[in-house]
Amino acid sequence: MDDVKISIIGAGSASFSVRLIRDLCLTPNLEGSTVSFMDINKERLDAVYAFCRKYAMEMKIKLNLEKTMDRRKSLKDADFVINTAMVVGYGGYRAGWNIGFKHGYRFGGSYHIMHDEGFWINFHQFKLFESIVNDILDICPDAWYLKVANPVLAGVTWIGRKYPKLKFVGLCHGYRGVFSIANVLGLNAERMTYLVPGVNHFIWLTHFYYNGEDAYPLLDRWIEREAPKYWETIPPSSGLGPKAVDLYKRFGVFPIGDTCTPGGGAWPWWYHIDDETEKRWKEDPKRWWSFVLNPPRRDPVAELIKIAQSSVKATSMYPPQKSGESIIDIIESIACDIPRIFQVNIMNSGKLLPGVPEDFEVEVPALVSKRGIQGIATDGLPKPLIAHILRDRVAPVETELEAYEIGSKELLLGLIMMDPWTRSEEQAVKLLDDILNLPFNREMKKHYK
């Protein structure tokens, strides 16, 4: 196998880049690869590069590490392009959410306001995605584009429609919530099989087996006998909390990952109508998002610089064990032709998830090898959940994408009107105007007329 070149766009994301290098160091088939770190923030870029270089040296793994602030230079000869960049950062989330709070919006509403894929965040992400994709098609058209940055749901849908020749996949680690269930039940994950189809941040455990036997009775027994005691000690908004169990009882399949947590918008709204209701369901999205709403003073970049320049071992801070992310494993499967099945976000071509439009994103299993990424058809979801996908995911995304494509402020207002906390058009107009008047949204305000 020829040496592989991996370009990381937004490499200044310290935790992500370090996890990726650690996984790469633990993948012998990819030793000798070139990794090009690219970011527009020089301080963060230098810190991540220095730390990762030290990490690889301690692991005695040969990697050719490069750094640049020039994206086109990073993309030259790339075989894989990973995008983890977030244009507005947590400060952009916080500014928009505070406006939402001011106008009566709560977590648990729509995906497009009180969530980290708010419409003002997505505007900047769409522009970034388009510029990256155009550069890839110009500079390294045969490269695989691994889209990790949000929005995955709207982003995969939009890219898949607009750039049919692009080789790309969206990735999210939310599906690993099934391993949290295994851990709580005391199951050996290697003897477990599962299927969790849906759309991004809305996936459900439709098949669950342990040693070849249906494992749902084990989960039912845990819910009946042990869950109440477990809930006494867990933090609010848990993926295994009372809300998740109640949704399981309503729909007959268990919500996985960020499906019902604040990481997925805290869907559905009726558990969040007021503080008292949230408390009854052991939900607290504001606390869950406290690292954004009340950011810690700790500077991860400063910590990386300190360790990179000291005698402290980088491997002592990040022990050499796989992160659980599938990114490097997917690269290995494609580059080395090792067929394996992964959970991916791709277009619903071939009706991989019945009931969802074929030109829309779905999260399903896929066979990954030198031949590429081939989605595997599923049995689908219960009809009531498909109805929720169409109302709460497909309809808003279609509205947002059309608004973005034609620059329609009216459609953007319509998107806000879909939120369950919107009580009047006047309320929606005030929210939209305040969002558009944020300093970092000047370009957005010009775009939507």
Q: Which residues are catalytic?
A: 173, 258
**Residue 403 corresponds to which tokens in the numbers above?**
């608004």
What is the C-alpha to C-alpha distance for residues 21 and 40, in angstroms, rounded to an integer?
Answer: 20
**Residue 91 corresponds to which tokens in the numbers above?**
């400060």
Nearest of 324, 340, 344, 323 to residue 332 by alpha carbon: 340
What is the C-alpha to C-alpha distance for residues 278 and 292, in angstroms, rounded to an integer?
Answer: 20
Tell me, letter by letter, the H, E, C secondary structure of 329-355. HHHHHHHHCCCEEEEEEEECCCCCCCC
Task: Please tell me the number of Cα atoms within 13 Å of 432 on its side-chain side.
Answer: 21
What is the C-alpha to C-alpha distance for residues 376 and 373, in angstroms, rounded to an integer?
Answer: 10
| Residue whose token pair is 């990697």 | 63
223, 231 in Cβ contact below 8 A? Answer: no
- Angle at which helices 119-139 and 409-417 pack, to 10 degrees? 120
**What would the DSSP string read from start to end of 358-385?**
TTSEEEEEEEEETTEEEE-------HHH
